[in-house]
Chains A and B, each alone.
Chain A
Amino acid sequence: MDKFTIKDMNLYYGKFHALKGVNLNMPKNQITAFIGPSGCGKSTLLKSLNRMNDLVEGCKITGDIRLDGEDIYGNIDINILRKRVGMVFQKANPFPMSVYDNIAYGPRTHGIKSKAKLDEIVESSLKDAAIWDELKDRLKKSALGLSGGQQQRLCIARALAVKPEVLLMDEATSALDPISTGKIEELCLKLKNQYTIIMVTHNMQQALRIADNTAFFLLGKMIEYGNTDQIFSNPREKETEEYITGRFG
């Protein structure tokens, strides 16, 4: 079953045509990776999935993007959309507050006040993000004192705390060491049973390791989309072949 469906989507930043005629269906409970050289539009597309581009002046989107069949650019409450579609960024961005308050921030803004309920959410989110054991004795300490890898898993836990359905990851491991990267990749494989994960990555080995499907973008066009094993063993398009074998890009 498809979680996101994108049909004839075009995106313009002013006069710049950043995404051209994108058609893409992303299955539920799978990991989909977007790859392509810098400036190809992959992060722009990712941000369109929870309407982060609304904040960009001059950004215009045409076409159709649906989440579970519902038009996300129609009459949808944008706060609800962003609750359903969480995002983790390249650079970990914990709030300057305690580990506990970072996680509880989202649920509190959605109206949860009960201490017991918040305790439960903090614990389950940190457990889901595979960082509970490391942080359970430091819940009241500042999140800014954590290592980069811990901060990023904290941000994943913070995204999970509001029980999203989709997790968008924009180069979420690119600033991390291999051990932390490995932990987050393992985490993605575990989380996909409950969530749909869509990631932008410059690390093609990462897409190979964990993504079920991979889409290759070039100059605003989606050149090829398919099963990751097929894309990396026998791509249909010459541009994909040249990019993934490192011969241009």
Chain B
Amino acid sequence: MREYYDIQLNDLNNQIIEMGSLVEKSVAYSAMALVKSDIDRINKVSEYESAINRKEKDIESLCVNLIMHNQPVAKDLRFISAALKLVTDLERIGDHAEDIAEISKFVDSQNCHLDKTVFSEIADTAVNMVNLGVDAFIKRDLDLAQKVAEMDNTVDQLFIEIRQKLVSGLKSGEYDSAPALDLFLATKYFERIGDHAVNIAEWVVYSLTGKLENLDDYGIEE
């Protein structure tokens, strides 16, 4: 029964997997671009960004068609509405990845006197959060969703530490102001990527349980 409908729902799931995979790569490459000043990766992120935007439109269109033709209810409705919200978060993550890649291009050309490996941890954590968020959606896994929410605390803490480091480096004259500000912006983008990953986790929870939870303070109420 409803075979064609199930095929379309499956297609939606596959398209989200594809978009998630593009976003995961994009964030990972932007992190490498920033930390290792890798120009090839910078260019790749830009390509991914265009593909991510196209995928977002395709998925939105598929969701609207599914709603129009099938009037979904219950778990189908939750899945489709979660997908519609989730692609916006994925697309924003793609934007931030591109922003970070752009900054790395710029910062790399300057002598910033700053050891960029300090960004490794926040970049790695944000990348992991995106990977886990997408995994949670694909595997319908509440535990993974909760893990993403917990990791956001680490990202927030690292953001504060890097900010303090940059402020004191600027005060002491150790860092040049322009690259330090750019790197602060890149740090903020990683922090925002973490927030979007938490949003994805929240849509996973909604899709599976019907509960619209705020996972910011991590912990999913049973």
Contact = CB atoms under 8 A, between A and B. Distances in A.
Given A233-B77, A233-B78, A234-B78, A245 B72 contact: yes
Interface string A185-209: 0000000000000000000110010
A48 B92 CA distance: 57
A244 B74 contact: yes
A133 B72 CA distance: 37
Nearest to B73: A232
B75 interface: yes
B73 A247 contact: no
Nearest to B76: A245
Contact count band on B: 10 to 19
A69 interface: no
Interface in B1-43: 1-2, 5
Interface residues of A, number: 14
Interface in B66-100: 71-78
B210 interface: yes
Q: Say whether chain A's binding surface is mostly helix, strand, loop, or mixed.
A: helix
B74 A245 contact: yes
A111 interface: no
Contacts of A234: 74, 78, 209-210
A205 B210 CA distance: 20
7 contacts: A233-B74, A233-B210, A234-B209, A241-B74, A245-B2, A247-B2, A248-B1
Interface of A: 204-205, 208, 232-235, 240-241, 244-248
Given A234-B210, A241-B75, 18 more contacts: A204-B73, A205-B71, A208-B73, A232-B74, A233-B73, A233-B77, A233-B78, A233-B210, A234-B74, A234-B209, A235-B74, A244-B73, A245-B74, A245-B75, A245-B76, A246-B2, A246-B5, A247-B2
